[in-house]
Amino acid sequence: VITHPADSFTVLMSASLAIGGIIALPMIGYQAWAFLSPALYGHEKKVIIPALVAGTLLFACGVALAYYFVLPLALAYLMRLESDALTPMIMASEYFGFVATLCVAFGAVFELPLAITGLTALGIVKPQFLTKYRRHAIVGCWAVAAIITPGDFLGTTFALAIPLYLLFEISVVLSYIVWRRRERRHQAAMEELQGEEGEAHA
């Protein structure tokens, strides 16, 4: 349903911009990388490239799950809520906004492993902290899923909560790996520093 003469044009333009932006993302990323890479060290490139690839794939997986699985469930559930006294008349612009918001929300949530890994590498989050509050994470996953996905318990909420918790467990594993590497580098640096101090005193 459209309520304004320009609604059709607005929806088409919004959809075209969104699709064009998605198609252009690889080229935009390549141009950004070509501009920044000369200023980066070798070890920084080894970290950034996998992070960019992983972030893109995770976001794409989240969008695909939202569009092909969660969206049909959400629409079916919301339509069942309509009573006999109400006739659904969904505006095209509102529908497009709903779909876009749902897809972006799922894509952002699927970036959890990348965010946790980055925070661990910076020393802000420890894997022990994640395992200690695992039960809280389960409740948090259900809460986040219930907030960003309209639907019944066995529908859209379940569809997001389970993948979200699996992403949390993957984040814990990656956090342990990154933390151990960080500790080994720190230990090696301390041993090297102690060796230099010993040579200086000698």
In a domain, 25, yes or no: yes
Using CA atoms, how far apart are residues 88 and 98, in angstroms rounded to an integer? 15
The pLDDT confidence band at residue 154, using thresholds 50, 70 and 90, is low
Task: Find tokens 């965010």 and name the residue.
Answer: 115
**Is 2 inside any structural domain?**
no
Sign of CA dihedral 52, 58, 61, 63: negative
> Could you read off the pLDDT of 94-148 as tens digits, one per residue?
788 888 888 888 888 888 888 888 888 878 888 888 888 888 888 888 888 777 7
Q: What is the pTM of this model?
A: 0.74
Is 159 domain-assigned? yes
Q: In the numeric block, which tokens belong to residue 181?
A: 């590497």
- Is the CB of residue 150 less than 8 Å from the CB of residue 74? yes
Taking Cα atoms as reference points, which of 38, 23, 68, 47 lies closest to residue 114?
47
Indicate the number of domains in the chain: 1
Looking at the domain assignment, is residue 36 inside a domain?
yes
Residue 1 belongs to some domain of the structure: no
C-alpha to C-alpha distance for 30 and 34, rounded to whole angstroms:
6
d(CA 191, CA 89): 70
Domain that holds residue 138: 7-201
